[in-house]
Amino acid sequence: MLVAGIKSRPLYKGLTIEPHAKRHIFALEGEGALALIDQKAALDLTILSRSEILYVARGSKGKGHDTTLLGLGTDVFWTAPTIATLLSRLKALLATAHMGVRLYVAGTEGFIGQAMMVGLDHGMDSASIITEHRGSLARRVQCVHCKGINEEVTASPFTCSHCGLTLLVRDHYSRRLGAFQGVNIDAEDPGSAPDPEELFL
């Protein structure tokens, strides 16, 4: 059960390398590594020498994407243990960055949303951040009632891990939060919610 057709749903156009950029920052999560690896042919020496990869393996641990990324030969390759560490490194990079730097983000929607927010916070225009969705369709959902953020939501309805309400996942996406909205579905008659469907695997 999904409330579809809402315009705020982001579109991920796919990774393409911006040939004129003075610095390329790739923030990659899990299968998002493949989005860059697939661009290998476009990565010439100039681009590689201007590129910096921030990678967090998460669900793709053990698939060897880190070795492949390292093998690309970018100027900087750095792996983060968690998304939070990756994001704080990204913040530090952007805080001193100049115009001409391009940010590329690939991975799950929740990750893209959070990395985009860092970009927006540093004055980047959302349309200029290059994104590609890879890996699970799991969503980052904010409960509109208790405001708690639920990571890795794959089913709708689901139970809010903060307040316990049964939430319907809407397609309504907040750029400011980098999250979808979850709205209580059985407020009138608790327990009457339909069975959860795995919609975002």
Residues in contact with other proteins by CB under 8 A are: 18, 20-23, 94, 97-102, 122-125, 127-128
Nearer to other proteins, 7 or 20 (CB): 20
| Distance, CA of 122 to CA of 190 (rounded, Å) | 43
Closest CA to 199 of 174, 171, 172, 178: 171
Residue type, 24: H
Nearer to other proteins, 101 or 112 (CB): 101
Q: For residue 145, what are the β-bridge partners?
A: none
Q: What is the dihedral of CA 104, 106, 112, 117, to 10 degrees?
A: -20
Which of helix, strand or coil describes residue 59?
helix
Nearer to other proteins, 46 or 67 (CB): 46
Distance of closest approach, residue 191 Cβ to other proteins, in angstroms: 45
Closest CA to 39 of 104, 90, 83: 104
Nearer to other proteins, 97 or 155 (CB): 97
Distance of closest approach, residue 80 Cβ to other proteins, in angstroms: 21
| Distance, CA of 168 to CA of 185 (rounded, Å) | 6
Closest CA to 135 of 188, 48, 49, 61: 61
Distance of closest approach, residue 97 Cβ to other proteins, in angstroms: 4
Distance of closest approach, residue 94 Cβ to other proteins, in angstroms: 6
Distance of closest approach, residue 121 Cβ to other proteins, in angstroms: 9
Nearer to other proteins, 99 or 201 (CB): 99
